[in-house]
Amino acid sequence: MTADAADPDEEALGWAGDERDAAAVPPPRAREPREGDSIPGPLLITYGILAGLYLIYTVGWIITVTRSSTSLPSLLGEIMFQLGEFLAIASPALWFAAVLVLTRRRKPVVRLLWLLIGLTVVVPWPFLLGV
């Protein structure tokens, strides 16, 4: 075959004026990694352990709430008491999520510090004390 009689399939793969060599085009540059783009492995494992502890706290609050037999005479009091129980159950998950969202642009040490503070704040004391 001559160069003048090009295969129609080959013509479909190029544009008119597309005679430059593909090797002459430099490959696209990769984005420079920024600080905080990736989480180191040990830090990721630590976050997983802390998330597991917060999950255990949530289970502790669920057990505490289901054991409670408190009943209040007024409707408003009962609604407020049940809202408090719901917030007690949700508090570990809310704390964990809030720390992850609010410390997104901070150093990992700050995030770990707030997560450790949360472990002392949202402890299911009634469960631990057997009340």
Instruction: Write the Ramachandran bin of 59: left for phi over 0, alpha for psi from -120 to 50, otherwise beta.
Output: alpha
Query: How many domains would you assign to the chain?
Result: 1
The confidence score (pLDDT) of residue 130 equals: 82
Is 113 inside any structural domain?
yes
22 has pLDDT over 60: no
Is 87 inside any structural domain?
yes
Is 100 inside any structural domain?
yes
Is 3 inside any structural domain?
no
Is 6 inside any structural domain?
no
Nearest to 35 by CA among 110, 127, 108: 108
Is 121 inside any structural domain?
yes
Average model confidence (pLDDT) across the chain: 84
- Categorize the per-residue pLDDT at 41 as very low, low, confident or very high, splitting at 50, 70 and 90: confident
Residue type, 116: L
Tell me how many helices (H) and strands (E) the chain has. Answer: 5, 0
User: How many whole angstroms separate alpha carbon 83 and alpha carbon 2?
Assistant: 83
- Categorize the per-residue pLDDT at 45 as very low, low, confident or very high, splitting at 50, 70 and 90: very high
Domain range for 88: 41-129
- Categorize the per-residue pLDDT at 70 as very low, low, confident or very high, splitting at 50, 70 and 90: confident
What does pTM read for this prediction? 0.67
